[in-house]
């Protein structure tokens, strides 16, 4: 069940990236460092520090040589890493797309109301 949910999340992220007018994959990937910085500084209200910490733990889990299910159990061991990867990419792509939209709205608002900066 969880594998299907992760695959569905990856599919939704792909559909979001490919929608007309939506930030593309390149824009989303370039926005990730800015998203992280804005979240840690408390400037971006769309993502909590707790969610950012969970995404960081996902990266650590993928990179860590210690797994909940060891990789020598070939199919199952690799599948858990791949599941975490799908969740991580789906979450990052979705959140970075929302961040790009938020950033665009703030830039447009600042252009129309420069005295409110």
For 67-115, write each residue's pLDDT tens digit. Answer: 666 656 666 667 777 888 888 988 999 899 999 999 988 887 777 765 5
Which residue from 9, 33, 27 is spatially nearest to 88, judged by alpha carbons?
9
Q: What percent of the chain has pLDDT over 90?
A: 37
Q: What is the 8-class DSSP label of residue 114? A: G
Is residue 6 within 8 A of residue 90, CB to CB? The reply is yes
Above 70 in pLDDT, residue 47? yes
Which residues have a Cβ under 8 Å from the Cβ of 36 and sit 6 or more positions away? 52
């Amino acid at each position: 069940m969880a594998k299907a949910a992760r695959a569905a999340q990856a599919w939704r992220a792909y559909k979001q990236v490919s929608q007309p007018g939506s930030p593309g994959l390149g824009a989303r990937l370039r926005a990730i460092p800015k998203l992280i910085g804005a979240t840690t500084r408390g400037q971006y209200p769309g993502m909590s520090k707790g969610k950012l910490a969970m995404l960081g733990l996902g990266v650590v889990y993928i990179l860590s040589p210690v797994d909940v299910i060891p990789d020598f159990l070939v199919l199952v061991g690799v599948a858990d890493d791949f599941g975490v990867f799908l969740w991580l990419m789906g979450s990052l792509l979705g959140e970075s797309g929302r961040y790009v939209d938020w950033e665009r709205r703030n830039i447009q608002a600042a252009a129309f109301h420069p005295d409110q900066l």
